[in-house]
Structure 1
Amino acid sequence: MADRPLLIFVSDIHLTDSLHGNAVSKAEQFARFWERIQGARGKRPAELCVVGDLFDLVRSPSWFDSRNRPYHGASTNGVVRNVDKIVEETIAREKGFFDALRAKISTGELKFHYVVGNHDRLLMTAPAAQKRLAEALGMASIELHKELEFTGHGVLAYHGNVGDPINASPDGDATIGDAIGSELILKFPRKLRAMVGADHPGVEEIDDIDDVRPVYAVPAWVRQQSAIRKDLLRPISQVWSEVVDEFLANDFVRQWLKSQHKTWSLDLGKKLRLLLELSRNKVMAHGSDERLSQLYRFFQHSFDGKMQAVAAAELQRRRGMRYVVNGHSHFPSMQPLGRINDGPAVYFNTGTWRAVHQIGHDLGGRPSFLPYDAMTYLVFFPTDDKLRRDYEWWTGAMVTRHC
């Protein structure tokens, strides 16, 4: 067997130009991460593959400074310019993180691979932004991939949004998820502040809407906030209803809903519209929490298992691959897919390095959420590993005190 490198996968770091971050900085997270990697790599370089969404180019408030939106044409001049601006400001904001990466790359301790996801796909058509990133990492240039095969370990890596009907983009085009991120998730806190004032006690907590995963749990989260924050019940109800109306009237959204229409079935567009309707206006005061929970579970059922099913299909058609690594969902996972050549085939999801508000359901059937900072990584070991390890999958969560 040929000598294999120490190969590490992470995903969904979601560096942003202005939105709030974790309790622990990305630079500090990387330092903790590298302590473990340093002990395992020995004298050889480690290889790090980011499996999508290193940057979040979709959810930048800077999109509201012009008419351009992340769901407009990726090669549109205004979109490309704004992507460059977002990347420039994000690199400056996360200087400690990029300096730490650059230091390891420049000494030869680390090799860097980048597979794009749905939140950073716009990098593919932004050469100036690519150049900025390469310079920040101390590299002459950076190659962006939609997928990568690591034949030494038998690993296929791609972001995983292909298994998410809200964010699937086979041709790299904009998705309804881009519009949700821009026209609902970014716009809601912005408009709420305009109504109640930026200095209203606790209004900054509404920014946590950006941490809600999966994205179709956002309507349930908004509903929960209106119940928790009694002082904001009326403003939240009014603003959310306005934002939903504007979203449904958006030309891009209307075209997408039309494309999803199926006369005799509850198509994806109808499901999304129903989720939004159940979360707003009169429903906030009088609607059924159980109906919202049931519809969410219906949505989740169509998503759960889809990424693993796609992974299994990919392994069946590719020779020499045994493992599939995805990001996207923000929820770490390790699932057996059967056996290939007398060895186990496995699907991995590398979770995220950011805050997550995870949906659940309380005893009354109402949606509830648990916020925490997450960190996951997957390591495949060299051929001569003393412990004869093939891989290790590490995931953790940190919950901060609120008193």
Structure 2
Amino acid sequence: MSNFDFQNETNNQSLNDGVKKNNNLTGTFNVELNDTLFKFVDANDVGKAATTLAGKPRLLIIDIIKRFCKNYISFFSLILILSISIACLIIPSVSPFGATTPLTNIDVNWIKELPPSYSPIVTESLNSNNYEFLMKIAHENPDLKIINSTIQINNEFLVTYNKYLFLEAYSQQNINSLLGTNTQGIDIWTRTWTAARDSITLSFLVATTDAIIGITIGSVLGFYAGKWIDTFLSRIVDVIINIPTLVWFLMLMTIVGKANINQFNLYLILISIGWVYMVNNTRLWMITVKDQEFILSAKAVGCSTQRQIFVHALPMVIGKLATTYVRRIVIVIMSISSLVFLGFLDSKSDPNLGTLLKEAIPLLDINFWGLLLPALILLFFSLSAQFVANGLHDALDPKVGRGK
């Protein structure tokens, strides 16, 4: 046999062995199909197994709250704002004095510009009639050491005496003004917290209304940037913004009339101007997200335009808008105070922080609390609101959470 024939025979033998092995291997996979291979699977068991493997789904609001609470400065600022708000509600309710009426119905000359109750000794220059009346009350109440010293200067008497003991003996009432009274004899402590309550409430309502109107219009304009509706409304917003706010206040107050200014009319005047700022900010942020992939995907699957705007796009920019919203609250408080200082809003029956700051000017050399307390409330509220706004921005922005 030649070498060539021997090689062919060897190759044929190897091929036959391979076919036999394949046949044997194929035979091992011939599995009989029966009912035991087809069983119904409980969906609850599958869900439990998937939950065990991947963990329970987390709610978005829970994640936002956790991220906000991890920012200790913002969390402490929120507690401070809540404390101020609670104090504004409780203190005027439990105070024995009113915010717009004098301490008592006695002669207002005796109860105006009272010192704080922790420092009741005063030195005043009295005319002969007032001095005689003071001496009469002191002699009728010998158990109370009312007068400390007296110096006569011509027809005037320089008397050092306990003002609160004198008022208690005179009015037969327990008068205890914690921080004293203003020039109208009204308790500074009660009036300040009442004014803070009214100012914060009004500014919160104005900022919320501005946000609802401005975010709604701004979201639509941002999504339709370049369209005729965006061009038309944007020009109106530009006109309102470019004219100074004070000019708008003057025009609107002239229309309403200074005598008709009350809390509701002031609310209408403020929202008629403030909504444009929320429109501008919302429009700019919506332009940055309207062409991103998730919006295009929502459009591709057939989502309506309203759903694309308010369900998909708006949540992505709400953190930025929260900062503007909180700042708007502080801006409204400052705007009201500015109107009081300029004399366009003289609300003695409905006091606000601007009214208190204006009333405190004559008391600077007598009682510093008239200016210090409303200034501290305004300062702490403004700073805390800014920190809360920054914390909300970080908590609502998922990119910030991933970056930490």
Whether these two folds match at TM > 0.5 is no
Structure possessing the higher radius of gyration over alpha carbons: 2
TM-score, scaled relative to structure 2:
0.22
Structure with the bigger percentage of helix = 2
TM-score, scaled relative to structure 1:
0.22
Structure with the bigger percentage of strand = 1
